[in-house]
Amino acid sequence: MSGEDAQHEQQGSAEHRCQERMVLVAHLRRCGIESERVLAAIARIPRERFIPTALSSQAYYDEPLPIGLGQTVSQPTIVAQMTEALELTGTETVLEIGTGSGYQTAVLACLCAKVISIERHEALSREAAARLEDLGVRNAFLHVADGTLGWPAEAPYDAILATGSLPDVPEALLSQLAINGGILVGPVGSRALQHLVAVRRSGVGYTRRTLGGCRFVPLIGKAGWDDEESGAS
């Protein structure tokens, strides 16, 4: 193949990916996602770069996909719903628990000032960091740690997103939310099934609302689950 042919093929594939993202965005609108900022971020981030090459043709299916070590990148409707619930305007510092592939991190990075993302698997964190670097994401900072305890060094956070399930919302995370309107979103419930909750902190305490049922892989840690029995997301 000549250099020119290769360039045409690459352009064709980039255009095809762009069309796939637009189809996904139309689907997200039909599913009730209203935030134009969130939809624009999803239209911008190439999900195929965050999954194994062998699954690349499924990158824009509305499904969770395996990313190695028994973990998954969440399905786009869940990513969009959780991100929308954080009500980001662009100025916030956000804590994400469960970096995984880095896809959700990249979406958040489009929508806020700074993302701190914690992952317990060093290998996943390293791969995610390389992808984010390749894409030119400069406002995301990754750490390897037990994220169920939060990341006190940079608290308070305007928003906290737990991308794996928890038995309940850990006290440590609540205490790291900004007092005036900090929002935490995450799946809470049993190991098998959870509901998505959004907790808002104010000067007088916390208000909690439920966004619907879901099924996530577990967050393993001191304020999470004990071991690595299977889950899905």
Which residues are designated catalytic? 74
Binding flag, residue 111, ligand SAM (CB under 6 A) = no
Q: Can you read off the two tokens belonging to residue 171?
A: 């006290």
Name the segment binding ligand SAM (CB under 6 A); options: 3-11, 108-116, 195-203, 215-223: 215-223
Residue 79 beta carbon to ligand SAM: minimum distance, rounded to whole angstroms: 7
Element housing 125 (H / E): helix 122-134
Give the C-alpha separation, 128 to 137, whole Å.
11
Beta strands in the chain (DSSP E): 65-68, 71-73, 93-97, 114-119, 140-144, 159-162, 183-189, 194-202, 205-214
User: Closest Cα to residue 233, out of 47, 34, 38, 79?
Assistant: 79
Q: Which of 24, 73, 169, 185 binds ligand SAM (CB under 6 A)?
A: 73
Distance of closest approach, residue 184 Cβ to ligand SAM, in angstroms: 15
Q: Report the 10 Å Cβ neighbour count for 121.
A: 19
Q: Give every CB contact of residue 205 below 8 A, 6+ residues apart in sequence.
A: none
| 63 or 146: CB nearest ligand SAM | 146
| Binds ligand SAM by CB under 6 A, chosen from 76, 164, 170, 182 | 164
121 binds ligand SAM (CB under 6 A): yes
Q: Residue 215 contacts by C-beta under 8 Å, 6 or more apart in sequence?
A: 165, 187, 192, 193, 194, 231, 232, 233
Q: Please tell me the distance from the alpha carbon of residue 197 to that of residue 99, in angstroms, as a whole number.
A: 19
Shortest gap between Cβ of 93 and ligand SAM (angstroms)? 17
Interface with ligand SAM, residue 147, by CB under 6 A:
yes
Does 81 participate in binding ligand SAM (rule CB under 6 A)? Answer: no
CA 146 from centroid of its chain's CA atoms? 17
Q: Which is nearer to ligand SAM, 15 or 228 (CB)?
A: 228
Which listed range, 39-47, 152-160, 195-203, 212-220, lies at the site for ligand SAM (CB under 6 A)?
212-220
Residues 127-146 that bind ligand SAM (CB under 6 A): 146
Q: How far is CA 209 from CA 176, 188, 195, 197, 201, in A?
A: 19, 12, 10, 6, 12
Instruction: Based on the shown chain and the rule CB under 6 A, indicate whether residue 221 belongs to the binding site for ligand SAM.
Output: yes
User: Which of these segments, 54-62, 69-77, 130-138, 150-158, binds ligand SAM (CB under 6 A)?
Assistant: 69-77
Site residues for ligand SAM per CB under 6 A: 67, 71-74, 97-98, 100-101, 103-104, 118-121, 124, 146-148, 163-164, 216-217, 219-221, 224, 233
